[in-house]
Amino acid sequence: MAENTQAAEPASKIDLPASVGGEAGGIPSFQVTAKIARFDPERDSEPHWEEYRVEMHGTDRVLDVLHKIKWEIDGSLSFRRSCAHGVCGSDAMRINGRNRLACKSLLKDFQKNPTDPVEITVEAIKGLPLEKDLIVDMEPFFQSYREIMPFLITSGQEPTKERVQSQADRAIFDDTTKCILCASCTTSCPVFWTDGQYFGPAAIVNAHRFIFDSRDEGGDMRLEVLNDREGVWRCRTTFNCTDACPRGIQVTKAIAEVKQALLTRTLA
Amino acid sequence: MAKASTGTLYRGREGMWSWVAHRVTGVGIFFFLLVHVLDTALVRVSPEAYNAVIDTYKTPFMAFGEVILVAAIAFHAFNGLRVIAVDFFKGGPANQKKLFWGAMVLWLVIMVAFLWRHIPNSLGGAF
Amino acid sequence: MSAPTIPAPRTGYQRSTAKGSNFELAAWLFMRLSGVLLVILIFGHLIVNMWLGDGVHQIDFAFVAGKWASPFWQIWDLLMLWLAMLHGTNGVRTVILDYAERPATRMTLQVVLYIASLVVVVLGTLVIFTFDPCIAGADFQFCPA
Amino acid sequence: MQVHEYDVVIVGAGGAGMRAAIESGQRARTAVLTKIYPTRSHTGAAQGGMCAALANVEEDNWEWHTFDTIKGGDYLVDQDAAEVMAKEAIDAVLDLEKMGLPFNRTPEGRIDQRRFGGHTRDHGKAPVRRACYAADRTGHMILQTLYQNCVKHGVEFFNEFYVLDLVMTEVDGKEQPAGVVAYELATGEIHVFRSKAVVFATGGFGKVFKTTSNAHTLTGDGVAVTYRRGLPLEDMEFFQFHPTGLAGLGILLSEAARGEGGILRNADGERFMERYAPTIKDLAPRDIVARSMANEVREGRGCGPNKDYVLLDLTHLEPAHIDEKLPDITEFARTYLGVEPYTEPVPVFPTAHYGMGGIPTNVDSEVLRNNTDVVPGLYAAGECACVSVHGSNRLGTNSLLDINVFGKRAGIAAAEYAQTAAMPELPENPETFVAGEIERLRTSDGPERIAAIRRDLQETMDANVQVFRTDETMRQALNDIEALRERYKNIGIQDRGKRFNLDLLEAVELGFLLEIAEVVTVAAIHRKESRGGHFREDFPDRDDENFMQHTMTYRDPESETEGIPGMRLEWKPVVITRYQPMERKY
Ligand SMILES: Cc1cc2nc3c(=O)[nH]c(=O)nc-3n(C[C@H](O)[C@H](O)[C@H](O)COP(=O)(O)OP(=O)(O)OC[C@H]3O[C@@H](n4cnc5c(N)ncnc54)[C@H](O)[C@@H]3O)c2cc1C
Ligand code: HEM
Ligand code: SF4
Ligand code: F3S
Ligand code: FES
């Protein structure tokens, strides 16, 4: 039986410090100037910058700015989004020069004092074909993902109950299970920008998730795929992927572990 | 094949810029090496030819070039060792930024020491 | 702010399908192993040539002759030449593969690179092994007059 | 226009849609149409867990689970369906594990389980550990695992295809589906998918409310599409408000936070749930906790400058424990509110979370055209469906279960149906309606803006049809909705393009939202009692005599309900097998 991890019964009543509530209270509004790279495939031959000025509040995020522009100023501004809290991976874009999720980029992080005006530049992620405004074609990205066989491969008879896996074995690949396939990493990678053939960090992260899963038996095949000229060896450890990952995945570390697995497989 | 959306620079951090520098220095050293082997090959032609070329290395202008060269080699070397550490050591990736700044400190120390030796050396020869 | 042209839609992935080759792995490993050795070799070379004695000023024909009189330095320089050239050539190869996208450009640049490297390595090796301190014009005492 | 032909068309690629696709894809030619990339579906936002009486950590069995589900749903649950779900739960979890889902593990390496609201041992004696989980990203892992298996089985996806209509045709005097009409986002092209069977798995409609844990894309498309085709909607008045949304934002902090020991406090620092549910306190079902919280705020014990939220206190838990079990949600608190959960309690308030109602189906996921008859070839599963396993209030972790159990059943049933059925004839010009609507909206240039109408709709729903409801407030909402429908006729959009015209689609979605909001409100006015997620201040008690039945709302131009023309309301009996209704006490 599992150890009881429940804490002791908490107190019925406590004294609350005066400061509770964080920033849920009122926060002054401020001006935001948003410079957005717009591109309409039916009219433009190349993207151009468009500037918008809106008034925003303390807990607002870049996604809120985009929404405000779309909903109140220009309905044709196009971008993907769904969950609005960093779990679906729809809205990776380049904000002030770095890949992030718009829904996870707080305006106040671009600001020194709570009422300072904020300037943001927003453009589509780089390296995938631009479709419209902030929307790119994700197909090549998912193609790389599919190529590394991102599913559990096993042989022999299935057990009647679950496969047993120790907590330690489960922990080895925990980090890489967090991936939401947002493409922030792959499209921040200078090697991916070059010719777009590199599998890219996201595909490797997802391969890692299975290669290091003690239940999986397809690791060798995936390693073979990543031993390719466009595989792990193209990574130049630039760490842009790790810096960009909104899920805090240690992407470069995962890539290093795959490289090492390939080395041991080949040399040992 | 499609690439850039717009032309703005990606604001990478230590990892990206160190790689850019590593690449630039690597290619730079490579081209220097091509030339360097060729000029050294002059020892097979005649001592005069060799000495003539080598003497140009001793001008203040070239002294400056040598500083650049040593700086490039030292950077490439220390950052290369950092890359190797990232690749092979368990804590490498997590500490890459510290390793980078460590490499930079080392680079600075080496450069100061080298300049301390090299400036009087090369200037001394010129005057 | 000028925006560059928007590139044509991609033609899809054309990844190499050659499987089972460990070339990239070997190249990657070689870069690291040679890198470590090169640190020793190059810094040794720089210290001896530019730090000890008179620094750059000591370098002349005689200096080289002095060094290559010893097999130790011959081997040292030979190793350094080979490792640095292989390391550098492979490095430049990756740079070419990164930035030259048209197959024809890629091919041309690579051919030029390999020929240049080969010439330099062969030449350098010959120079080290066939070095003759008493080549015409040299005036060491031990040279036959 | 393009026409495609498949045996089975699945609309939606969330948990339910992909679970169905895995089954159907191996048996019949299947297409999955989804308006967003499969991995963007909101199943991925689910955090806490998926329950099954595996009994891996303590004694448990599926009958207790059935009972908890029925009691949690305030006895409005169809008990045969609940039994099916609780029984098949065990295989549903094991299936996922075998597909590769990385569940957290017990020290013995088995699937770990934790406590969740309303799940008890032996009919309410004490909380039980029944929720299987993967940290606090269980839904994420389910969505990823299902997508991975779709990749494995080569399921055909049509990504960013918005299904806007269901094509019906008459076969032997009965209406049945002949396919669907979809709008391709990338090109603006209209596609008709002709098929023998259609499965709806389009998820929820939380966007009728302002404060919600639901994604922007959860606009109830499938629910509205079938409703517009004359099929009924069941139990639409029951909407769940999750107790712990981040104050002001609605972003969810999973019940797992309380399952792992977190507690709620008011401005006095009091653990107020001790007063409302003395036995299981903070782990009471959601409707009770949400109401208790709203009540604390109403009575002036709320926190903050506006006294409009309460606090979720995790500070007595070990940071290491929090990191291990609740990493994501503590991150939300830090990112979005700037609160450090190790040391400070987190501001929370109820957030619109889950629609218990939806497209009525039987346990084989077949859609019902009335109280008894099914529509051959039409299936629904997931949040858009109402099997009714959740009754008037869903227990936490029962939805991830629902989508897996009934998604699988729908996939199998649809494929098997398609193996014997003939390909129905498409009616002439099946795309006319959609094409007309799209063209009308694309060229619309009225003065009204989509966003303004949507905001007003959400605000009136939040103000009038939320945790506490009265006849008066709901009539107000209804009036507002009517006015908004008028305004909707005069909207204007700005994007006139064909490619990625999301402006246009937001207009379409708003049409769906207005439709659904009206159904929700009318059904709620109709139910003059309080039960589960539906609490009427003017009728605060449960009334089994008159209302122990499901509502079925039909779109019917001839009828009128509660002064609303075009709607017909009927009642459908609840299936009771073993557990007679009792008072619901925790
Ligand atoms: C924040 C949050 C946390 C939750 N936590 C839990 C939990 O811990 N345990 C639990 O059991 N439940 C939980 N739930 C509830 C549960 O996650 C959802 O009810 C369930 O995932 C719904 O799954 P689904 O497959 O029905 O729909 P979704 O996953 O929402 O998928 C809907 C799909 O339909 C598609 N679609 C919609 N409209 C159209 C259209 N017009 N054309 C084409 N495609 C369309 C979408 O593209 C999408 O793929 C949570 C819910 C939320 C919001
Ligand atoms: C002094 C010791 C040296 C060390 C420790 C070293 C280390 C490295 C390492 C580890 C790499 C691989 C980087 C990667 O894969 O991301 C590399 C790349 C490279 N090196 Fe060196 N190197 C050294 C000397 C040299 C010399 C002498 C040359 C020139 C001849 C050279 C040229 C290059 C080039 C061109 C690259 C490729 C850069 C790239 O792909 O971005 N290096 N070096
Ligand atoms: S690894 Fe991180 S950045 Fe890359 S796709 Fe996954 S979540 Fe996004
Ligand atoms: S950004 Fe690219 S180079 Fe490697 S470390 Fe990340 S994949
Ligand atoms: S909208 Fe889902 S990640 Fe940002």
CA atoms of D550 and D390, how far apart (whole Å): 12
Provide the 10 A C-beta neighbour count for residue D585.
11
**Number of domains chain C is built from:** 1
Domains of chain D listed by start with CATH number: 245-351 (3.90.700.10), 432-573 (1.20.58.100)
Structure confidence at residue A26 (pLDDT): 55
- Whether residue C5 has pLDDT greater than 60: no
- Residue D348: the pLDDT is 93
Q: What is the pLDDT of residue B3?
A: 41
Distances (CA, A) of D361 to D9, D79, D369, D517, D574: 17, 14, 9, 21, 13
- The answer to whether residue C116 sits within a structural domain is yes
Contact between chains at A233 and C13 (C-beta distance less than 8 A): no
DSSP per-residue string spanning C64-77: HHHHHTSHHHHHHH
pLDDT tens digit string along A39-55? 998 888 889 999 999 99
> Ligand 3 centre and the CA of A200: distance in Å?
10
Please give all residues whose beta carbon lies within 6 A of any atom in ligand 4, as ranges.
A 188-189, 191, 201, 235-241, 251-252, 255
Q: List Cβ neighbours of D483 (8 Å cut-off, separation of 6 or more).
A: none
C-beta of A103 in contact with ligand 5 (< 6 A)? yes
DSSP state of D361: B
Residue whose CA lies nearest to ligand 3 atom number 7? A179
Best mutation site among A60, A64, A85 for ligand 5, i.e. most ligand atoms within 8 A of its Cβ?
Answer: A85
**In 3-state terms, what secondary structure has residue C24?**
helix
- Is the pLDDT confidence value at C18 over 80? no
Reading the block at residue A265, the tokens are 């497989």
* CA distances, D154 to each of D160, D274, D404 (Å): 18, 52, 19
- Give yes or no: D29 in active site: no
Q: Report the nearest atom of ligand 5 relative to the CA of A103.
A: 4
**Looking at D114, D258, D265, D286, which residue is catalytic?**
D286
| Confidence at residue D140, expressed as pLDDT on a 0 to 100 scale | 96
The per-residue pLDDT for A2 is 40
Q: Which residue has the higher pLDDT, C126 or D51?
A: D51
Residue nearest to atom 1 of ligand 4 (CA): A189
Report the pLDDT value the prediction gives residue D16, as an integer from 0 to 100: 97
Q: Is the pLDDT of residue B2 over 70?
A: no
Taking the C-alpha atoms of residue D183 and residue D431, their distance in angstroms, rounded to an integer, is: 10
Q: Judge residue B29's burial from the number of C-beta atoms within 10 Å of its C-beta, 0-12 exposed, 13-18 middle, 19 or more buried.
A: buried
Radius of gyration of chain D (CA): 23
Question: The tokens 């009828």 sit on which residue?
Answer: D559
The C-alpha atoms of residue D136 and residue D343 are separated, in whole angstroms, by 20
Dump pLDDT digits (tens) for C72-116. Answer: 888 898 899 999 999 999 999 999 988 888 888 889 999 999 999
Please give the backbone phi and psi of residue D446, each rounded to the nearest 5 degrees, phi first. Answer: -70, 175
Nearest to D261 among A7, A17, A79 (CB): A7
Phi-psi region of A11 (alpha: psi -120 to 50; beta: other; left: phi over 0): beta
Q: Which residues, 6 or more positions from D309, have their beta carbon under 8 angstroms from its beta carbon?
A: A21, A24, D247, D248, D297, D302, D303, D347, D348, D349
Displacement of CA C134 from its chain's centroid (Å)? 28
Does A181 sit in the ligand 3 pocket, CB within 6 Å?
A: yes
Considering only residues 48 to 107 of chain C, which have any Cβ-Cβ distance to chain B shorter than 8 Å?
50-51, 54-57, 59-62, 64-65, 81, 84-85, 88-89, 91-92, 95, 101
Helix (H) or strand (E) holding D422: none
d(CA D197, CA D178): 8
Residue type, D496: R
* Structure token digits, residue D507: 């207009």
In this structure, the strands spanning D2-11 and D30-34 are parallel
CA pair distance D513, D219, nearest whole angstrom: 6
- Backbone angle region of D218, left / alpha / beta, with phi > 0 → left and psi within -120 to 50 → alpha: beta
Q: Which two tokens stand for residue D112?
A: 């770990």
- Of A35-49, A202-216, B47-61, where does the model show the most confidence? A202-216
Instruction: Give the list of residues 6+ apart from residue D586 with CB closer than 8 angstroms, or none.
Output: D118, D124, D277, D279, D280, D284, D285, D288
Strand, helix or coil for residue B89: coil
CA distance B99 to A252: 15
Strands (E), D40-81: 50-51
Q: Looking at chain D from residue 490 to 509, which residues have their Cβ under 8 Å from any Cβ of chain A?
A: 493-503
Look up tokens 């090492």; give the residue. A260
Contacts of C1 (CB under 8 A, 6+ apart): A49
D441 is written with which tokens? 């909206």
A18 Cα: distance to centroid of ligand 4 (angstroms): 46
Q: Which residues of A touch C3 (CB under 8 A)?
A: 37, 46-49
Which pLDDT band holds residue B67 (cuts at 50, 70, 90)? confident
Q: Which amino acid is at D236?
A: M
Measure D399 CA to ligand 1 centroid, in angstroms.
Answer: 9
What is residue D149's three-state secondary structure? helix
3-state secondary structure (DSSP) of residue D204 = coil
> What's the maximum distance between 2 C-alpha atoms anywhere in chain B?
57
Helix (H, G, I), strand (E, B) or coil at A86: coil
Q: Inter-axis angle of helices C23-46 and B60-88, to 10 degrees?
A: 140
Residue A261 burial class via C-beta count within 10 angstroms: exposed 0-12, middle 13-18, buried 19 and up? buried
Q: Is B84 helix (H, G, I), strand (E, B) or coil?
A: helix
Q: Tell me which chain D residues have a C-beta less than 8 angstroms from the C-beta of A19.
A: 344
Please tell me the predicted confidence (pLDDT) of residue D259.
84
DSSP D357-399: -BEEB-TT-EEESSSS-EEEEEEE-STTEE-SSSTTSPPTTHH
DSSP 3-state of A64? helix
From CA D396, how far away is CA D256, in angstroms rounded?
9
Q: How large a percentage of chain C has pLDDT more than 90?
A: 37
Domain range for C99: 23-130
Asked if the interface predicted TM-score (ipTM) of this complex is over 0.85, the answer is yes
pLDDT at site D146: 97
Q: What is the pTM of this model?
A: 0.93
Q: Which residues of D touch A104 (CB under 8 A)?
A: 335
CA distance A200 to A155: 29
> Given this model, what pLDDT does residue A4 score?
45
Burial D500-529 (b: 16+ CB within 10 A, else e): bbbbbbbbbbbbbbbbbbbbbbbbbbbbeb
A63 Cα–ligand 5 center, Å: 9
Cα torsion through C38, C39, C40, C46, rounded to 10:
100
**CA D349 to each of CA D57, D117, D309: distance values in angstroms, whole numbers, following the listed order:** 32, 17, 5
d(C-alpha B126, C-alpha B57), whole Å: 11
- Residues A125-157 pLDDT 10s: 999 999 999 999 999 999 999 999 999 999 888
Q: Is the pLDDT of residue A111 over 90?
A: no
Torsion of Cα atoms, D16 then D17 then D20 then D25, to 10°: -160
Could you give the CA distance from residue D506 to residue D450 in angstroms, rounded to a whole number?
7
* Distance separating alpha carbons of residues B23 and D528, to the nearest angstrom: 74
Taking the Cβ of residue B9 and every Cβ of chain C, the question of whether any pair is shorter than 8 Å is answered with: no
Position D118, amino acid:
G
Assess whether pLDDT exceeds 50 at residue A3: no
Does A181 sit in the ligand 5 pocket, CB within 6 Å? Answer: no
Question: Does position C12 have pLDDT exceeding 60, yes or no?
Answer: no
Ranges of chain D with pLDDT below 50: none
Task: Answer whether A73 contacts ligand 5 (Cβ < 6 A).
Answer: no
- Residues A106 and D581: their CA atoms lie apart, in Å, by 49
The minimum-distance atom of ligand 4 relative to the CA of A239 is 5
SS (H, E, C) D167-195: EEEEECCEEEEEEEEEEECCCCCEEEEEE
Chain C residues within 8 A of A197 when measuring between CB atoms: 13-15
Place B116 in a pLDDT band, splitting at 50, 70 and 90. Answer: confident
**In the 3-class helix/strand/coil scheme, how is D82-140 assigned residue by residue?**
HHHHHHHHHHHHHHHHHHCCCCCECCCCCECEEEEEEEEECCCCEEEEEEECCCCCHHH
Q: Locate tokens 């000229």: which residue?
A: A229
Amino acid identity for residue D26 in this structure: Q
Q: What b/e readout covers B92-116, taking b as 16+ CB neighbours within 10 angstroms?
A: bbeebeebbeebbebbeebbeebee
pLDDT digits (tens, 9 = 90+) for A67-105: 999 999 999 999 999 999 999 999 999 999 999 999 999
pLDDT at D338: 85
Instruction: Please enumerate in sequence order all residues whose Cβ is within 8 A of that of B109, keeping only pairs 6 or more positions apart, or say none.
Output: none
With contact defined as beta carbons under 8 Å apart, do C65 and C137 qualify? no
C-alpha to C-alpha distance for C87 and C29, rounded to whole angstroms: 11
Task: Dump pLDDT digits (tens) for D194-203.
Answer: 999 999 999 9
**Where are chain A's structural domains?**
29-135, 138-153+169-267
Mean pLDDT, residues C8-20 taken together: 53
- Surface of A (80-99) touching B: CB under 8 A: 94, 96-98
The nearest CA of chain A is from the CA of C106 a distance in Å of 12
Please check whether residue C87 is in contact with residue C96, taking contact to mean a CB–CB distance below 8 angstroms. Answer: no
With a 6 A CB cut-off, is C29 part of the ligand 2 pocket? no
CATH code, A138-153+169-267: 1.10.1060.10
Tell me the percentage of chain A whose pLDDT exceeds 90: 72
C-alpha distances out from residue D162 to B50, D395, D429, Å: 76, 30, 18
Which ligand ends up closest to the CA of D401? 1
Dihedral angle, C-alpha D12, D16, D18, D19, nearest 10 °: -160
User: Strand D374-380 and strand A118-123: pairing?
Assistant: unpaired
d(CA D366, CA D360): 8
Residue A80 alpha carbon, nearest atom of ligand 5: 1
Pocket test for ligand 1, best of D19, D43, D165, D209 (most atoms within 8 A of CB): D43
b/e sequence B68-79, b meaning 16+ C-beta within 10 Å: ebbbbbbbbbbb
Which CATH fold would you assign to the domain A29-135? Ubiquitin-like (UB roll) (3.10.20)
pLDDT tens digits, residue range A16-36? 766 665 554 456 788 999 999
Average pLDDT of span B56-60: 78
Closest residue to atom 4 of ligand 1, CA basis: D46
